[in-house]
Amino acid sequence: MDHEMDFYQKLRVKFKDWLSTEEGQTSTWAEYLMFAPDLFHLLCKLVIDPDVSNQDKAKLAGAIVYFISPVDLLPEALLGPLGFADDIAVAAWVLNSMVNHINQDIVRNHWAGEEDVLQVIQKIIGEADQMIGSGLWDKIKHKFS
């Protein structure tokens, strides 16, 4: 059955399982990392939305590729779910760059999460320095600016 799940579904299962472990229950960043599946879903929905500009779609596509790539600055293969900290920071950074010049309802309509998506984006950006380290965060922001 696992081979039939898409990336989003696998990610949700991975994080749900991780949360039930001691590491997941005691992780400082668990609350933030749990946004990973919903952020990935949002990126995918926005990249095919006809109301999103091609320039924004290019940024979204870059964030999607970064999410699914096994090679990034914090590799999931080595760090497990904690390796998604840079992925969610990239997603939040790209989404934040869009929300000030597009209709925010477009973003909200595609959000599958329970909290307000705009607050989630701000919360992640506000903690990104601490989550992944300011030096690494500066490198990531430069890549996606």
User: CA–CA separation, 102 vs 93, rounded Å?
Assistant: 15
pLDDT tens-digit readout, 72-94: 777 776 777 888 888 999 999 99
Altogether, the residues listed in the chain come to a count of 145
User: What is the identity of the amino acid at 74?
Assistant: L
pLDDT tens-digit readout, 16-60: 898 888 988 888 888 898 899 999 999 999 999 999 999 999 999
Read off φ and ψ for residue 114, nearest 5 degrees.
Answer: -90, -35
- The answer to whether 73 touches 86, Cβ cutoff 8 Å, is yes
pTM to 2 decimal places: 0.86
